[in-house]
Amino acid sequence: MNTTSDAVNVTLPPPVPATPVASHSSVALMASSPQIDPPDRFALRDGSESHKGEGGAPLLKVEGLSKYYGTRMGCADVSFSLWPGEVLAVVGESGSGKTTLLNCLSTNLEPSFGRALYRMRDEEFRNLYELSEAERRFLMRTDWGFVHQNPADGLRMTVSAGANVGERLMAVGDRHYGRIRATALDWLGRVEIAADRIDDEPRSFSGGMRQRLQIARNLVTSPRLVFMDEPTGGLDVSVQARLLDLLRSLVSELGLAAVVVTHDLAVARLLSHRMMVMKDGRVIEAGLTDRVLDDPREPYTQLLVSSILQV
Amino acid sequence: MSPTPTYNFAYLDEQTKRMIRRAILKAIAIPGYQAPFASREMPMPYGWGTGGVQITASIIGPDDVLKVIDQGADDTTNAVSIRAFFAKVANVATTTRTADATIIQTRHRIPERKLAEGQILVYQVPIPEPLRFLEPRETETRKMHALEEYGLMHVKLYEDIAKHGEIATTYAYPVKVEGRYVMDPSPTPKFDNPKMHMSEALQLFGAGREKRIYAVPPYTEVVSLDFEDHPFEIQTFTDPCAMCGAEGVYLDEVVLDDKGGHMYVCSDTDHCEERRLSGHRGVLSGDPLEAAE
Amino acid sequence: MYVAVKGGEAAIANAHALLADRRRGDRAVPALRIDQIVQQLGLAVDRTMGEGSLYDQELAALAIMQARGDLIEAIFLVRAYRTTLPRFGYSRPIETEKMLIERRISATYKDLPGGQLLGPTFDYTHRLLDPAIAEGGEVAAPVTREADAAHTPRVTDLLAHEGLIEADSGGLRHNDEPKMNDSEREVGDLTREPLQFPLDRDLRLQALARGDEGFLLALGYSTQRGYARSHPFAGEIRIGEVEVELDVPELGFAVSLGRIKVTECQMVNQFKGSAKVPPQFTRGYGLVFGQAERKAMAMALCDRALRARELGEDITAAAQDEEFVISHADNVQATGFVEHLKLPHYVDFQAELGLVRRLRDEFEAAQEPRQEAAE
């Protein structure tokens, strides 16, 4: 098991009692799945902090989410809350249901049971599965991002990098070519893509570059919530490390909340504040990332953690 | 064998006309919106103006005066053919003079002469969907119009500027109607786009094969899509019409020999003729009577 | 001095006269007669009726003659004529189980009630050109038999009896919801309403029935070569005459309008089961006017492929892509648009010419420091 001196140095301030809204959601409905309510603030491994939002209301409250395919279970009874600026990792092996969960949360799939309450920009909580098509699509274009495992799925491959980044801006009414281009250039810089590639098509980019372009494309409208599906999957190890660094700094800089699906515990360790471990469609353990990885309680989690290759 | 057919006034039966008029009214009520209609097989092939012909057939009456142009000319073969069709099945008066027409059916041009209240311009449209070449699926484009999701359209314009330094669309240039629907003005050169804006005439667009009708009512705002820092511009020609000297009109290039010799003449043949009759001359016109032969 | 081109009207008139001349051909050769075409080019007549969507053999024969043998042109003529016809009602659905059968085969059984009846098929002919046909001699009378509709049950009904095949026009939905009772459903009419995707099966079948034989044949072929596979078996093909009946409210009973010949093909396809329903074979259906077996079979293969969404299959191939198949199946629309390229497009071409010239000028100017003279 991995104990580090860093873990010892983490100081957790005494927990602040949760606000009525949070306690209602966390206590009332989740008998079947393990879940803890995070304190208002806690420090991460690298010293950065995650915050609950103003007034402490979560950004997303998921209650009893389940997806069945006929008699086959995709995921069942998933409940959790997500606060602004907080990154939640959903970890599991193939078939654990984590991708199904992500697709339900991002409304790409309709769940069989349960609901997901999202706090809109006007502070109203809406059940995502009751949104109209128009509302859903607007949300996906402005307030959310979705980073696909295969960047080609999240990019327009036959359109230039600049247009890929600028598209969301144009979709919400930006009409100044120079400004759109300048914003795109700025973002390419932030994701470390050379400026002279702005007019090149992603077809000519390496896997790592495409993924960084996908990230820029998603973040250009300052979304509050980003879904990521194995964001470093299929990339070379050194490229992965660089990408994770980038993601971490962007997430903290922009105060993004994120749900990151990964089978790679190192990704969870580096990116997330909290994590959920899934097996056979259910959440079997959840908690602060450092706690779960340093002190796994469930046998399956212990198995996962101990299976990490030490290089 | 079945009896020889007889045809209703203007070919279409009254039920069909009623159906088409309902679609036209719906289109007028929602400027720029593509109203589906149950397009009929017509005696000319799909793609050769059946949409325009069905609209004209549904609105034409015995007192109408019909002008039909293709590429701006009354005498191109398809215009001749369509005009003859209506002369036969509706027995209406026809004309080549824009000023005298009540209904003008057109392919690919808007007349140079400003249209007046009471005139109807019927456009022949091959592909009504402005997003079609960006998104081939009808199910998707329908949603995009319903949700006013036109980002993809501007992506295309952005790409043009990034690639060519300017927007590379020269005809069928997309427009926004009444600030809501993005519309394809039919394959008229972008030169003609400004004429659609706040026109006194009613503009009807018919796509027979694709089964859509759309409309721009009189005095409607029609704005060509562009960027603030790359505003919409129409084509310009360096020389005036060689026959009548007109400037600021759309010109056809005519090849004179195989050594690259060419000249430019008015695409709108009626406009050119009118100018020549009132004495205007270009560099290559001869005696006015000879030229009008 | 330039003289503007005129005379389009005269050119058209001359072209039509020339066409009429070529249509007639050598005046010394006897002219074709409608009855000759109906009798001796029956399959061309059948195709024209099928894709023209109008059952009238003489009219179809006239169209073929007027079109100089170009069947798509003939189909266009029939369609244009059909548009003008007043519609005074809908017949009862034809009952193919009561067909007066001329041909009936099944690949799924060696023998079955009603037997295997080859009928007037090309299937086992040897494709050797036979000059004797052109010499016109006596053609012997063939063997005949009494039609026996009562003892020729449909193969799909035999399978359905054991529950082995999905219900007729029923079908599994991927989330196992039952389909609306068919007697409650209104059947669409694609000649009366514009198509809106996604389509229901009734409108798809209508589009396929009048769709181009070559296009559907190619798509059906593709499903057999791996572009979406459905393991088809020819459950039954039957060709013969059926009664067309019209309900007359004033009389209180149905009146027979006569008989038409149709070809029906039932394909038996890949079985499918679900949580609530045990595995069953699935159907593909083809129905066309006249004797048009190739078309009916292709139609059935395409029908099955297009049911992918309904049956919860992955859509991977062109034949399963409803928008693609149905938008491009109508050859009258297709030929209209392809051939419209012959119409003048010089105004738009002029616009493109202008742009290309300008871009080329800019390109040259960028290559060399000195200014190019403007055109």
Over residues C44-95, the pLDDT tens digits come to 999 999 999 999 999 999 999 999 999 999 999 999 999 878 888 889 999 9
pLDDT band at residue A241 under the 50/70/90 scheme: confident
Say if residue A46's pLDDT is above 50. Answer: no
Token reading at B184:
């394809």
Higher pLDDT, A15 or A310: A310
Q: Which of B121, B107, B87 is nearest to B214 (CA)?
A: B121
* Closest Cα in chain C to B139: C197
Scan residues 215-244 of B and list those with Cβ closer than 8 Å to C.
Answer: 235, 238, 242-243
Selected residue of B12, B40, B46 to mutate for chain C interface (largest C Cβ count, 10 A)? B46
pLDDT, residue C219, reads 97
pLDDT over threshold 60, residue A10: no
State the pLDDT at residue C257: 94
Rounded Cα distance between C280 and C165, Å, is 5
In DSSP notation, A48-75 reads -EEEPPGGG--SEEEEEEEEEETTEEEE
Please tell me the distance in Å from C100's CA to the nearest CA on chain B. 25
**A87-91 β-sheet, strand order:** A144-147, A225-229, A257-262, A87-91, A274-279, A282-288
Strands B222-224 and B175-177: antiparallel
Rounded-to-integer distance, Cα A155 and Cα C255, Å: 62
Which residues from B are below 8 Å from C191, CB to CB?
38, 40
Q: Is the whole-model pTM more than 0.90?
A: no
pLDDT score recorded for residue B291:
42
Q: Which residues of C touch B42 (CB under 8 A)?
A: 80, 83
The encoded tokens of residue A193 equal 């893509």
Q: Decide if A70 touches C, using CB distance below 8 A.
A: yes
Q: Cβ–Cβ of A175/B228 closer than 8 Å?
A: yes
Lowest mean pLDDT, pick from B115-124, C205-214, C365-374: C365-374
* A156 near B CB under 8 A: yes
- What's the pLDDT score for residue C373? 53
Residues A172-204: tens digit of each pLDDT: 889 999 999 999 999 999 999 999 999 999 999
A residues 166-195 closer than 8 Å to B (CB): 166-168, 170-172, 175-178, 180-181
Contact at CB, A159 and B163, closer than 8 angstroms: no
The residue of chain B with its CA nearest to that of C12 is: B77
Asked if A155 and A210 count as a contact pair (C-beta separation under 8 A), the reply is: yes
Tokens of C49: 């009726």
- Residue A37: pLDDT over 90: no
Q: Is A160 left (phi over 0), alpha (psi -120 to 50) or beta?
A: beta
Chains with ≥3 CB–CB distances under 8 Å to C: A, B
What are chain A's partners, defined as 3 or more CB pairs within 8 angstroms?
A: B, C
pLDDT tens for residues C2-57? 566 677 788 889 999 999 999 999 999 999 999 999 999 999 999 999 999 999 99
| Chain A residues touching B158 at Cβ < 8 A | 162-163, 166, 170, 177, 180-181
How many beta-carbon pairs below 8 A join chains A and C? 4
The amino acid sitting at C187 is V
Residue B202: CB atoms within 10 Å: 21
Record: contact A168-B152, CB cut-off 8 A? no
For chain C, how many residues are written? Answer: 375
Residue type, C155: V
Question: Least CA distance to A168: which residue of chain B?
Answer: B151
What is the reported pLDDT for C364?
92
A6: pLDDT strictly greater than 60: no
Q: Residue B229's pLDDT is what?
A: 95
Q: Are A147 and A229 in contact (CB under 8 A)?
A: yes
**d(C-alpha C261, C-alpha C100), whole Å:** 9
CA–CA gap between residue C48 and residue C286 (Å, rounded) = 17
| C289 touches C206 (CB < 8 A) | no
Q: Is the pLDDT of residue C337 over 90?
A: yes
Q: Output the pLDDT for position A52.
A: 45
Q: pLDDT tens digits, residue range A225-240?
A: 999 999 988 788 888 8
Residue B219 falls in which region: left (phi positive, over 0), alpha (psi -120 to 50) or beta: left
Summarize the confidence of residues A77-90 as an average pLDDT. Answer: 94
Could you give the residue ranges of the DSSP H alpha helices within chain C? 8-24, 34-40, 42-52, 57-66, 71-84, 131-135, 155-161, 201-209, 213-224, 293-306, 322-328, 331-339, 346-367
Instruction: Output the pLDDT for position C182.
Output: 57
Task: Tell me what ipTM this predicted complex has.
Answer: 0.81
Number of H helices, E strands in chain C: 13, 4
Q: How confident is the model at residue A309 (pLDDT cuts 50, 70, 90)?
A: low
| Residue A67 forms contact with C (CB below 8 Å) | no
Nearest CA-CA distance, residue B117 and chain C, Å: 27
- Which residues of B does the annotation mark as catalytic? 32, 241, 244, 266, 272
- pLDDT-derived band of residue A49, with 50, 70 and 90 as boundaries? very low
Give every residue of chain B whose pLDDT is below 50, as ranges: 1-2, 288-293
Longest dimension (CA), chain C: 93
The dihedral through the CA atoms of A121, A123, A124, A128 has a sign that is positive
Residue among B131, B145, B155 with most chain A CBs within 10 A, to mutate = B155
From the CA of C245, how many Å to the nearest CA of chain A?
A: 44
Among the partner-chain residues B42, B48, B71, the one whose CB lies closest to the CB of C346 is: B71
What chain C residue is nearest to A69 in terms of C-alpha separation?
Answer: C175
